[in-house]
Structure 1
Amino acid sequence: METKLIYLSDLEFNLRVWKRELKFHKEELKKFERQLEDIAKRNLGIDAMAPLEGFQNKIIKEREVIDKLMQKIRIKKRAVKRADLHEDIDGRLHREQEPLRDDMKTYVKLHYELKEALMDFLTKWVR
């Protein structure tokens, strides 16, 4: 049973880390959005506005992805809390968590690609 508690604790730890990371990214997106709004107010023309609108759309989409991932995390947390401590440790919960882990890996990769492109854009237009 002690091994089972450690196992469940590890799964819960992963979920907490992912949740904190998503919250951080959501706050980061707010900051980027404010910077984009500042650029939009300066009326810099189509060269700035076309990519700016693209970034705004990507930020909206990323927020939706974050919300979906947060929902998946909540569902997994409930599953971990409901786990039967007397059930054999067969890795079931861990295997069930693999798709979420893969989703997080993909999300993080895409987030940093967006962030890099956004930083390049901001470097060009923020003066």
Structure 2
Amino acid sequence: MKTATIYNSDLHFEHQQWKSELAFWKDELKSFNNRLKELVNRWTDKEVLAQLEHFQNEFILHSGVIEDLQETIAEHEMNISKQRDNNHESMDVTMVKNHIQFREKMETQRQIYADLKKEFFRFLTKYM
């Protein structure tokens, strides 16, 4: 059985992709919050205001998740840097497993965020 070598540069590349994606989400949430402010000024209906509050809470929660994911990436990048400082070009098994688990977490969060956006856009279509 042949084992594959996973290089630090490969993991770093994936981290860079995730960091860009998270930065985009963060920027997008700012835009969504601006939309919420517009709607708060436009609507007085309690049901609509309750839905606005729901989205506001979801956006706050998602912002926290983004920050947590960014911190985890930064920690993993520090571990990669330590590996490089010790002249190791490939990752140890534990770090690779952690990376794979984080990849799965990113994929899950990507789906959660996509679902939130769909729900929010349906809401905007109805009330904008």
Instruction: Tell me the TM-score normalised to structure 2 length.
Output: 0.87
Partner of 2:27: 27
Residues 8, 89 of structure 2: 8 Å contact kept: no
1:97 aligns with 2:106: no
**Unpaired runs of at least 5, structure 1:** none
Identical columns (%): 33
- What is the SS of the residue equivalent to 1:82? helix
* Equivalent pairs, count: 123
Cα distance between partner residues in 2 of 1:88 and 1:22? 26
User: Which runs of at least 4 in structure 1 moved beyond 6 Å after TM superposition?
Assistant: none
How far 1:103 sits from its partner (Å)?
1.2
Residue 111 (structure 1) aligned to one of 110, 113, 116: 113
C-alpha displacement of 1:87: 7.6
Q: Which runs of 5+ in 2 are unaligned?
A: none
**Equivalent residue, structure 2, for 1:10:** 10
Residue 7 to residue 49, structure 1, CA distance change in 2 (3 Å): same
Q: Which residue of 1 aligns with 2:59?
A: 59
Structure 1 residues 86 and 114: CA distance shift in structure 2, 3 A: closer
TM-score (ref. length: structure 1): 0.88
Report the aligned-residue RMSD: 2.0
Aligned partner of 2:47 in structure 1 is 47
| Displacement after TM superposition at 1:98 (Å) | 1.5
